[in-house]
């Protein structure tokens, strides 16, 4: 167990909160769930994937020409982790 230094007021407040949590858990546990099938979500989940179709791609040189900075055939970005 963690040895957390709590004041008397904090201890009383957390004790009351824990009591409320345990009371709620006991009410949930008392529910009759015999007819409820197990599930991971309360609502049905449906994938929204689009069909995988080959499409025309952008021209590499045209895209790189529009980039503010490039290095050969790659985009170039300013460093974001610089040491001071």
- Helices then strands, each counted (H, E), the chain: 2, 2
Cβ neighbours around 52 below 10 Å, total: 5
**Nearest 5 degrees, angle CA 64-CA 66-CA 72?**
25
- pLDDT (0 to 100) of residue 39: 84
Q: Which residue has the higher pLDDT, 63 or 4?
A: 63
- Residue 38 has a pLDDT of 85
What radius of gyration, in Å, describes the C-alpha atoms of the chain?
29
Q: From CA 5, how far away is CA 7, in angstroms rounded?
A: 7
Contact 11, 18 (CB under 8 A): no
Tens-place pLDDT, residues 29-84: 999 999 988 888 878 888 888 888 999 999 999 999 999 999 988 999 888 877 66
pTM of the model: 0.42
């Amino acid at each position: 167990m963690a040895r957390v230094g709590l004041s008397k007021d904090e201890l009383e407040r957390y004790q009351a909160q824990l009591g409320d949590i345990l009371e709620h858990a006991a009410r949930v546990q008392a529910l009759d769930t015999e007819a409820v099938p197990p599930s991971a979500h309360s609502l049905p989940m449906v994938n929204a994937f689009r069909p995988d179709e080959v499409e025309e791609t952008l021209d590499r040189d045209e895209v790189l020409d529009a980039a503010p900075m490039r290095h050969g055939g790659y985009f170039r970005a300013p460093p974001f982790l610089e040491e001071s």
